[in-house]
Amino acid sequence: MSQAGRAFLLWLLAMLAGAAIVWNSRFTADMSFFLPSHPSAEQQVLVDQLKEGVVSRLLMVAIAGGDETQRAALSRELRGRLGKMPEFVSVQNGESDSQAADRDFLFRHRYLLSPAVTPERFTVDGLEKSISDSVDRLASPLGMLLKPLLPRDPTGEMLELLRGLNAGAQPDSKAGVWASHDGERAMLLIQTAALGSDTDGQENAIKLIRAQFADTAQGQGIANASLQLSGPGLFAVNSRATIKDEVSRLSTISTLAIVAVLFFVYRSLRLLGLGMLPVVSGALAGVVAVSLAYGTVFGITVGFGAALIGEAVDYSIYYFVQSGRNGLTDWKQRFWPTIRLGVLTSTAGFGALLFSGFPGLAQLGLYSLAGVATAALVTRFVLPQLGQANGQTRDLTPFGRRALHGMQTLRHLRWPVLALALAATATLFAEREHLWNPELAALSPVSPADQAVDMALRADIGAPDARYLVVIDAADRESALRQAEATGHRLDALVASGQLGGYDSPSRFLPSQASQDARRASLPTAEQLRPRLLAALVDSPLAAGKLDAFLSDVEQARSAGNIERASLNGTSLALAVDSLLLPHGAGWSVLLPLRAGEQPIDPSAIRSALAGNDALFIDMKAEFDKLYNDYLHEAMLLSLAGLGAIVVLLAATLRSPRRLGAVLLPLVLAVLLVIAGLHLLGERLHLMHLIGMLLIVAVGSNYALFFDRASDEHRLDPETLASMLLANLTTAIGFGTLALSQVPVLHAVGVTVGPGAILALLLAAIFAPRASAA
């Protein structure tokens, strides 16, 4: 077998192995792109909530069209249909029957649930006090609601239970079901069985809701009925669709444009095919490397492929154009070392990202690094075995000559460019406070329209925003619940002093076994209770004889078993407990969401109230902001480190401060001009623009190096310059395509590196040492 055949076979085998790995890779387009790979304890809570938390499984639904009664009928039937499906854990629309089960449960178990149940409450004095309070309450406007309960619950335990619940948070109601504030839409709150991180499950659930709604609306003959839906699940599904769509769209645009350019130059399908070989290999190697290193490949990473195509095709352009005139050996000796150095600086830039704690960034780094290195290696070691241009390509010499001539003219721009760069620096310095977008949301692929719908639905339905949480970890369920009760006591003090509006706790509906035992032990026997009751009611308008139901209820509570998790089945309280009490690794976690009262929550007051307890207080918004700031800070360090590595690499190879300066100057100027330009165009900079700056240096250094080599040789051939222009064009196409993306991560890199690459070449030409023009 010939050497060429062997090389091709080896390459083919490697590609097949790579394809097999890619085939078995897991691709995802979920939030984990943005979630920290090494989270702190607080961030871990954030991550868990986003992936598995109840809030992440809530979908808000609004029904519009028809009249009030028709919307209510739609809402009822939709609830009836969805409620039976295993895909949904709960479907709430405010119908009263759903609340009856909860009320029954609370009333039936009131003596084990009420925190007011103590031995003192059932002494003569305790009974006298609690019963006279209950009688007084009958005078209240709410007395009418309490009166039916009095014979069975004279001590008012039910009221104790309801006291801690958030009564004010119910949505409005029209025709017996929840409605928006303006009354024009019926509202439902649906919890999916699928986790928030299960995008397939969420997509399926959303499809089911839409299909069932369409069917219901048709069945009831309401033609103008429409359904609006929002929630984290929809965001995930839409983001994935956007990313999927963009990956194919951007790659297609980038590939077509580059293929057109190459075909124009190569004028041969064979050369075109060979020229794309390093690109395909690089793209495949990138996905394989990411898949092997991280297990999961993010959609956004694959979307970055559009840029990689533009960058990776450069090497084969250099190879074909430069070796076409001067032969392979000459190319290997004269040009390959320069290209190699360019590849090394590029990999140094991408490699810096590998150390990021922001998983998306680390993947982009690895993907690009593996892709660029593979493309270069395939160009160097596989392409020469397979063929050369042999003079088929379009003669670029005249074009190169004209470009060389243009370069002479461009030189006059040296001073104006320096002045412009100075102005850019001044602008950036003056505006330094307004350059950056300080929120993680800047990176989120959720469209502003989707966010607006979400805000509107959230306001109408009063969905929990769960900004403040207290989190407790414990070894088992019982100790988790005990700690929840202990922490609850501390929080009660804040509620009493008005610093806190209230809080939710799983122990409200599922107290620890210890508390239940203690409460049961507080209950007297019927023989003990009867005489005490008589004594307590001597002066009361309530005759003890009317409280037989109370005596028998207490007796029943004494003999009934404890409340278990299963006792809650069939009520919406089960959901409340499951969302606040979670098995977690080897142990259990308890979440206590806090509600603000009249005054906003003061985190330091909560922290000091919890001091000495294992409970962790978390402000979700602050954590998000901190997370993003950490990423940004880290990205700055990594960019500087990447830049440092590139400088060291160049310094070690060039061994001349003057040459190093000549290579770096155009790159620094390009970065300055691009950033100032973006700012003036109104683009708020975020983390990915910063990464873009690093990439301008990593990618742009290739051009500056060619000019450096030319000045070293005291000549710059027209073909070399033409190949650089061509490579620059494909790179600009690749990154420029990303600028079309609606995904902020890709868009930012595109708008930064696309123009940056062109500027880097132009500036390198402008500032190229005069000797090179010989």
Please, which residue, 269 or 543, has the CB nearer to other proteins? 543
Q: Do residues 59 and 206 touch, judged by C-beta distance below 8 A?
A: yes
Please, which residue, 171 or 700, has the CB nearer to other proteins? 171
Q: How far apart are CA 446 and CA 99, in angstroms?
A: 35
Q: Do residues 573 and 509 touch, judged by C-beta distance below 8 A?
A: yes
* Residue 125 CB partners (closer than 8 Å, separation 6+): 536
Residue 173 contacts other proteins per CB under 8 A:
yes
The DSSP code for 332 is I
Residue 16 contacts other proteins per CB under 8 A:
no
Q: How far is the CB of 149 from other proteins (least distance, A)?
A: 11
Q: Do residues 705 and 724 touch, judged by C-beta distance below 8 A?
A: no
Residue 139 contacts other proteins per CB under 8 A:
yes
Residues 539-598 that bind other proteins (CB under 8 A): 541-543, 546
Please, which residue, 185 or 689, has the CB nearer to other proteins? 185
Q: Contacts by 583-587 with C-beta closer than 8 Å and gap 24+?
A: 584/48, 584/473, 586/475, 587/473, 587/474, 587/475, 587/476, 587/480
Residues 174-203 that bind other proteins (CB under 8 A): 174, 179, 183
The DSSP code for 587 is E
Q: How far apart are CA 652 and CA 192, in angstroms?
A: 59
Please, which residue, 150 or 369, has the CB nearer to other proteins? 150
Residue 99 contacts other proteins per CB under 8 A:
no
Q: How far apart are CA 287 and CA 309, in angstroms?
A: 13
Q: How far is the CB of 151 from other proteins (least distance, A)?
A: 7
Residue 25 contacts other proteins per CB under 8 A:
no
Residue 147 contacts other proteins per CB under 8 A:
yes
Q: What does the H/E/C string look like for 715-728?
A: CCCHHHHHHHHHHH
**How do 26-28 and 296-298 pair as beta strands?**
parallel
**How do 502-503 and 177-179 pair as beta strands?**
unpaired
Q: How far apart are CA 162 and CA 628, in angstroms?
A: 40
Q: How far is the CB of 598 from other proteins (least distance, A)?
A: 9
The DSSP code for 192 is E
Taking alpha carbons only, the member of 328, 452, 336, 268 closest to residue 702 is 336
Residue 171 contacts other proteins per CB under 8 A:
yes
Stretch binding other proteins (CB under 8 A), from 59-67, 168-176, 510-518, 687-695: 168-176
Token pair listed for 171:
């949505």
Q: How far is the CB of 119 from other proteins (least distance, A)?
A: 24
Residue 103 contacts other proteins per CB under 8 A:
no
Give the three-state DSSP class for 377.
helix
- Out of 143, 357, 464, 677, the residue judged to bind other proteins by CB under 8 A: 143
Residue 538 contacts other proteins per CB under 8 A:
no
How many residues bind to other proteins according to rule CB under 8 A? 28
Q: Which helix (H) or strand (E) holds 472?
A: strand 468-474
Q: How far is the CB of 98 from other proteins (least distance, A)?
A: 15
Residue 492 contacts other proteins per CB under 8 A:
no
* Residue 410 CB partners (closer than 8 Å, separation 6+): 762, 765, 766
Q: How far is the CB of 103 from other proteins (least distance, A)?
A: 16
- What's the half-sphere exposure (Cβ side, CA atoms, 13 Å) at 746? 30
Distance of CA 533 to the CA centre of its chain: 60
Q: How far is the CB of 485 from other proteins (least distance, A)?
A: 21
Quickly count: other Cβ atoms within 10 Å of residue 626's Cβ.
16
Q: How far apart are CA 98 and CA 90, in angstroms?
A: 10
Please, which residue, 150 or 698, has the CB nearer to other proteins? 150
Stretch binding other proteins (CB under 8 A), from 370-378, 388-396, 441-449, 538-546: 538-546
Q: How far is the CB of 670 from other proteins (least distance, A)?
A: 60
Please, which residue, 173 or 228, has the CB nearer to other proteins? 173
- Out of 223, 496, 566, 681, the residue judged to bind other proteins by CB under 8 A: 496
Stretch binding other proteins (CB under 8 A), from 338-346, 537-545, 670-678, 736-744: 537-545
Token pair listed for 228:
């609006």
Please, which residue, 183 or 219, has the CB nearer to other proteins? 183
**How do 581-584 and 587-595 pair as beta strands?**
antiparallel
Quickly count: other Cβ atoms within 10 Å of residue 111's Cβ.
23
Dihedral angle over CA of 595, 601, 604, 609, nearest 10: -40
Please, which residue, 163 or 244, has the CB nearer to other proteins? 163
Q: How far is the CB of 110 from other proteins (least distance, A)?
A: 19
Stretch binding other proteins (CB under 8 A), from 170-178, 449-457, 571-579, 584-592: 170-178
Please, which residue, 141 or 391, has the CB nearer to other proteins? 141
Please, which residue, 81 or 508, has the CB nearer to other proteins? 508
Residue 167 contacts other proteins per CB under 8 A:
yes
The DSSP code for 360 is H
Stretch binding other proteins (CB under 8 A), from 146-154, 571-579, 617-625, 704-712: 146-154
Residue 150 contacts other proteins per CB under 8 A:
yes
Residue 391 contacts other proteins per CB under 8 A:
no
Q: How far is the CB of 162 from other proteins (least distance, A)?
A: 10
Distance of CA 756 to the CA centre of its chain: 28
* Residue ranges of E strands in 181-222: 186-192
Q: Is the dihedral of CA 173, 177, 178, 179 positive or negative?
A: negative
- Out of 129, 163, 520, 558, the residue judged to bind other proteins by CB under 8 A: 163
Q: How far is the CB of 508 from other proteins (least distance, A)?
A: 17
Q: How far is the CB of 515 from other proteins (least distance, A)?
A: 23
Q: Do residues 61 and 188 touch, judged by C-beta distance below 8 A?
A: yes
Measured CA to CA in angstroms, residue 266 lies from 258, 330, 397, 721, 731 at distances of 12, 20, 14, 16, 17
Please, which residue, 358 or 550, has the CB nearer to other proteins? 550
Stretch binding other proteins (CB under 8 A), from 162-170, 211-219, 285-293, 624-632: 162-170
**Contact characters 661-680, other proteins, x per CB under 8 A:** --------------------
Residue 170 contacts other proteins per CB under 8 A:
yes
Q: How far apart are CA 472 and CA 592, in angstroms?
A: 8
Helix 620-654, helix 687-713: angle, nearest 10: 10
Please, which residue, 142 or 475, has the CB nearer to other proteins? 142
Q: Do residues 29 and 238 touch, judged by C-beta distance below 8 A?
A: no
- Out of 172, 184, 439, 450, the residue judged to bind other proteins by CB under 8 A: 172
Q: How far is the CB of 173 from other proteins (least distance, A)?
A: 4
**Contact characters 119-138, other proteins, x per CB under 8 A:** ----------------xxxx
Q: How far is the CB of 569 from other proteins (least distance, A)?
A: 29
Q: How far is the CB of 600 from other proteins (least distance, A)?
A: 17
Residue 97 contacts other proteins per CB under 8 A:
no
Binding residues for other proteins (CB under 8 A): 135-144, 147, 150-151, 163, 167-168, 170-174, 179, 183, 496, 541-543, 546
